[in-house]
Amino acid sequence: MHIIIFGAPGVGKGTQAKILSEKLNIRHISTGDILREAVKNQTELGMKAKSIVENGKLVPDDIMALLIKEAVTSKDSSNGFILDGFPRTLNQAQILEPILEEIGINDLIFIQIKADDDKIIERLSGRRVCSNCNFIANIKLLKDQNRCPNCGLENTFVKRKDDDEEVVKRRLEVYNSTTLPVLEFYKGKVSLIVVDGMKSIDTVSNQIMQELDSIGN
Ligand SMILES: [Zn+2]
């Protein structure tokens, strides 16, 4: 099974990708992870990407696409993959298409996790990271808002810069203007699953599994 998972920041993409990867026994390919891996393993592409990042620039789409190509053609992906974080622009989608074609992937499934901007902002405004154990929690969902449910310590929660309301709003703007066109690119070309990302983690993943089932049949 070959899946692209897609959605705005804060919608739970990474969480769902991880769950699906386990349930379906397919590889979770996150762009952040493969980039870090390539740098760590000092591959040719990794070294190239490293020097670009060290110069304060973004890794260009063509290098990122080659890293994706390495990942999707590796043995770990022989059972399938779920792509998380790519493509996030129309240009990236256009670069990815011939790569997947070349390796004979013609059963791509596109999963969009949907949510309204204001609900995402509301959800992220409650997100905190435990400075002791790095556990991520939404304090709005906790009985004791000062105690980390993972390590049990009190007053360890900090708010990440990324979750600041103004930062979130800007990221959503970028998503809406730059990333959302990717959805239009795939509409009508591949199987499309749309789920409501504001439901509970279990509800979302169960719904995705059901829809995947009905595509398979
Ligand atoms: Zn903790």
Element holding 30 (H helix, E strand): strand 27-30
Q: What is the pLDDT of residues 148-186, one digit of tens each?
A: 999 999 999 999 887 888 888 998 999 999 999 999 999
Residues 6+ apart with CB under 8 A from 2: 72, 80, 81, 100, 105, 107, 108, 109
Give every strand in the sheet of 127-130, ordered side by side.
Answer: 136-138, 127-130, 157-158
Q: Residue 208 is encoded by which pair of tokens? A: 């995705």
Q: What is the pLDDT of residues 58-81, one digit of tens each?
A: 889 989 999 999 999 999 999 999
The topology (CATH level 3) of 2-116+179-216 is: Rossmann fold (3.40.50)
CA–centroid distance, residue 105 to ligand 1 (Å): 42
CA–centroid distance, residue 29 to ligand 1 (Å): 27
pTM of the model: 0.85
**3-state DSSP call for residue 156?**
coil
**Catalytic pick from 23, 36, 140, 160?**
160
